[in-house]
Structure 1
């Protein structure tokens, strides 16, 4: 089962209706039932997103490792002549396509994960409105802004955003994509231009650096757009922690 969605319109900001004078508020039991149902729905949806991210990353690594093994066997038998270059220039672009698709899909899954976490934080906040005495027992965030989402995602306190980004699987996929692109450029240069080893290494490094820079720039823009789309309704008061 995969987690696939068609792109839809941005979420609308629906005003929260206030209880009018003389109107009975929703009973606590019904509120808890509705909140619990939504909570479990978000948990299941988040699980699907995580499952697809791991599946797509594993598929990419399996495809890439299989291609490298096949190329090494062909090169050992053929002596790295024309058949090796032909197979490499056919297989490696396919690997790069799989890698780019994996990276794009993981970005969409991460955005969905952030939306689900923000929703669950709002629900926890609603739980505390119903039973504020339970606040000491909540270890996850109850606010839907960046600090609250970071608490629920278990981001270590004081960790620089750059450190958190380079430790993520999407960054690993980005680096592998850049290396594969550099390898394609180096193999093409060796076969069609006949460049020497120093020039080939520099060319491969340059292509890899350009591809990585483009991917990082695109990821940064997507993160900024995602942060703007997630407008917090219940921001974290200064000095609050989990369950506060």
Structure 2
């Protein structure tokens, strides 16, 4: 009818009418839940890494004391062969758990990006105020992680799993050198054995991490790509 104000359609979320229903509150509640879960995940990452480094530091101190008392003799090798496998076991467990935690954190970031996308569907005018990503694909995740579309090698090398993996490789190389010494190997043989085993450990741990990440992302299809 003439003179009647135009009817404005309420904002919608995937075609769902949001008038009269506090969808934004539901989304915010879910967002806070995901944020709390992500905080717990990062606390576990820091806690496990700190525990492993504490055990490693205590082991190094103990080996130093035994070496001073025995002069790197057979008793030192026996003690080292007893404690280093335990340290390595803790280190490998820490590494694998950190990889799983990083994957879980990635899924949490994806979920939070989807919620931000929903916020922008409800209020598109807020987009200039969003710094974190609101797409659930690779670039969107990086936008949330590092506030840019790509990160350099230093960003990946500074991650907790990489640091723990390198320490595990060093411990494995030292253990291999001690085993080589125990069976009568010379200095050159011990050095070569330690370096080769350490490098092989780095490659093996990197391959395991790559397979886990690839398996987690293989069947994933983003719903809101960039």
The answer to whether the superposition gives a TM-score over 0.5 is yes
Q: 2:188 aligns with which of 177, 184, 198?
A: 198
Shift of 1:82: 2.1
Which stretch shows the higher mean deviation, 224-233 or 205-214? 224-233
User: Do the aligned partners of 1:115 and 1:230 also contact (CA within 8 Å) in 2?
Assistant: no
**Counterparts of 1:82-161 in structure 2 under 5 Å?**
82-154=74-146, 156-160=148-152
Q: 1:185 aligns with which of 169, 176, 180?
A: 176
Are residue 211 (structure 1) and residue 209 (structure 2) matched? Answer: no
* Residue in 1 that maps onto 2:59: 67
> Which runs of 5 or more residues in structure 2 are unaligned?
1-12
User: Do the aligned partners of 1:75 and 1:84 also contact (CA within 8 Å) in 2?
Assistant: yes
User: Do the aligned partners of 1:182 and 1:206 also contact (CA within 8 Å) in 2?
Assistant: yes
Change over 3 Å in CA distance of 1:28–1:64 after alignment to 2: farther
Q: Deviations over 1:171-191 (max 9, x none)?
A: 111111111111111111111
Shift of 1:157: 4.4
Matched residues in 2 for 1:36 and 1:137: separation? 17
Query: What is the Cα-based RMSD across aligned positions, in Å?
Result: 1.7
Change over 3 Å in CA distance of 1:155–1:93 after alignment to 2: farther
Shift of 1:167: 2.2
Corresponding pairs, count: 214
**Counterparts of 1:11-90 in structure 2 under 5 Å?**
19=16, 25-27=17-19, 29-90=21-82
> Which runs of 5 or more residues in structure 1 are unaligned?
1-15, 20-24, 237-244
Q: Deviations over 1:130-174 (max 9, x none)?
A: 1111111100100000000000001654434x4432221101111
